[in-house]
Structure 1
Amino acid sequence: MRKRIGLIIPAIFMVMVLAGCSLDKPINDKSTGFWDEYIVYPLSWLITEVSEFFNSNYGLGIVIVTLLIRLVLLPLMIKQTKSSMAMQQIQPEIKALREKYSSKDQKTQQKLQQETMQLFQKNGVNPLAGCMPLIIQMPILLGFYHAIMRTEEIANHNFLWFDLGNPDPIYLLPLIAGVTTYLQQKIMMGGSDAMSANPQMKMMLYIMPVMIVVFAVTFPAALSLYWVVGNLFMIAQTYFITLPMKKKESDVTGGAKK
């Protein structure tokens, strides 16, 4: 879990850095560089094509493309969940090994590492498998974020009560983005005692929604819309897929112990 937090925080920092150095450059078919040409522009093109199909409704285009991207990433998310569950199952054995080799001398620590790796191999667990899907998702989600912010046509349209190119004037969308971020994390934590007992995860439960609200108040409403739709998808995914998977695995493990 600490490794995931260690990945999330740099990702947030990356967004902040990129927001200050490249988001003012419009994206189009003349853009060059690997990042712009092969990641950001294709996503911008997809948003534009979908929006134009729905009578230039760019708000609806953002909603649909956000859902499409989340659906494409869903298998990675499921794989990440399964990997996390596998790691949780062997935590008692890992704890026992740490207690057995509690001495901090080099020889003992080497023995601990060897037996821990043997435990991973025995149970078919890859300790890095839970992080890899997250690493793969980052460029895609960050690229979509750039596509929204740098597609000039989006700023010229409105959706519901707000202009996509300006911050929400009544701050309702930023608040919804913050609330849905909190709910998404809360529902996920509710399905794991280890997560809910982790002080770092509890801290992130409150810090992330606040950060999202602060960003959403100043950024164009198109980005807030993307956050809200993505959060709602993640809430549905957690409620209908992740938590049932964990409950099923818990029932199987509990039955095996009996």
Structure 2
Amino acid sequence: MARLKKWYQIIGWFPLLLAILALVGIVTANHSYSAPIAGSGIWGTFVAFFIRSILGVASWFNTSYGLGIVIFTIFVRFLVLPLMVYQMDSMKKMQGMQDEIKALQEKYSSKDTETRTLLAQEQQALYKEHGVSPFASMLPLLVQMPVLIALYQGIHNSPVLRSGSFLWLNLGQSDPYIILPVLAALFTFGSSFLSTMANPQQNGFTKVLPFVFPFIIFFTSLALPSAVSLYWVVSNLFQMIQTFFLQNPFKMRAERKAARELEKAKARKVRKATRSKKKKR
């Protein structure tokens, strides 16, 4: 109960409300589609549920399967929003712990097994003290990956979705004009770049990531059905907007600059007071 209360304090009521509404929307959409869709086993049942939900949402919009995917994607993003808020909170706390982590790494700089074990134990104790989970960043990905895989399989298992069209797209085939792959890459870059800007502790690897991921997304989207690429475009656009509001790098940089100026002002006051004491002597 105490842990649930702590999570609620971190996440807040609004993201939880949106997640509940999204879950209600997904379940309602699933029941809106009455035609049977077969699925064997746990995974097959999940994929069938997924297909029915998209088709159910599409039925709300005059059987527009593209809109069904767009709205369903937004539902999924709202559903994982509490995890994203928790992730962002953990990332901010991790950024504030960088000096302490560096001190531990310098203290246990030896490469022998015993020292590395002590370092891991000390880091784990530090994470626990600050209430941080180093694996929090994996939670949204672990939730979204099954959704993406299920969407891909659902398109191939559903002749209705595979034959659907939306704007210039045939949902079962790749985008002939490469518009979706380009948009997916651009929104991926925007999200990654904003997240990187918000992190003051960067190395060569983290600086390169915002430029590597978009190329991976672009070339992968070229070979995917448009329905999957459409999911990716909407999801990454949502992610970019979400990153801006939850992890606004411009606001965070201004706050860090103000904190540095405050520290400098305090240091100047200390030096001035010290000089005044010396003069009096």
* TM-score, L = length of structure 2: 0.71
**Do the aligned residues in 2 keep the contact of 1:79 with 1:133 (CA within 8 Å)?**
no
**Do the aligned residues in 2 keep the contact of 1:85 with 1:246 (CA within 8 Å)?**
no
Q: Distance in 1 between matches of 2:186 and 2:225?
A: 18
- 1:7-46 aligned at under 5 Å gives the runs 29-37=37-45, 39-46=46-53
Per-residue deviation, 1:55: 0.9
In structure 2, the partner of 1:147 is 154
- 1:233-244 aligned at under 5 Å gives the runs 233-243=238-248
Q: C-alpha offsets along residues 215-235 of structure 1, whole Å, 9 cap, x if unaligned?
A: 322322222211111111111
In structure 1, the partner of 2:230 is 225
- 1:142-221 aligned at under 5 Å gives the runs 142-194=149-201, 197-221=202-226
Task: Flag the 1:148–1:193 CA change in 2: closer, same or farther, 3 A.
Answer: farther
Q: Distance in 1 between matches of 2:40 and 2:187?
A: 36
Matched, 1:125 2:109: no
Q: Distance in 1 between matches of 2:153 and 2:186?
A: 23
**Do the aligned residues in 2 keep the contact of 1:149 with 1:223 (CA within 8 Å)?**
no
**Farther-moved stretch of structure 1 (239-248 vs 87-96):** 239-248
Q: Which has the larger radius of gyration?
A: 2
Q: Which has the higher contact order (CA 8 A, sep 6+)?
A: 1
Q: Distance in 1 between matches of 2:234 and 2:169?
A: 16
Q: Secondary structure at the residue paired with 2:177?
A: coil
Per-residue deviation, 1:154: 1.5
Q: C-alpha offsets along residues 79-113 of structure 1, whole Å, 9 cap, x if unaligned?
A: 11111211221111111111122223444334333
Which letter maps to 1:33? G
Q: Distance in 2 between matches of 1:133 and 1:189?
A: 18
Aligned length: 228
Per-residue deviation, 1:236: 0.9
* TM-score, L = length of structure 1: 0.77
Q: C-alpha offsets along residues 158-213 of structure 1, whole Å, 9 cap, x if unaligned?
A: 1112222222222222222222222221222222233xx33333443233222222
Q: C-alpha offsets along residues 140-168 of structure 1, whole Å, 9 cap, x if unaligned?
A: 34323433443221222211122222222
Per-residue deviation, 1:128: 2.7
Task: Flag the 1:149–1:82 CA change in 2: closer, same or farther, 3 A.
Answer: farther
Q: Distance in 1 between matches of 2:253 and 2:197?
A: 15
Q: Distance in 2 between matches of 1:239 and 1:169?
A: 31
In structure 2, the partner of 1:51 is 58
Per-residue deviation, 1:252: 11
- 1:100-115 aligned at under 5 Å gives the runs 100-115=107-122
Which letter maps to 2:59? E
Unaligned runs of 5+ in 1: 1-27
Which letter maps to 2:210? L
**Do the aligned residues in 2 keep the contact of 1:157 with 1:163 (CA within 8 Å)?**
yes
Q: Distance in 2 between matches of 1:131 and 1:162?
A: 32
Task: Flag the 1:36–1:96 CA change in 2: closer, same or farther, 3 A.
Answer: same
Per-residue deviation, 1:41: 1.2
Matched, 1:84 2:71: no
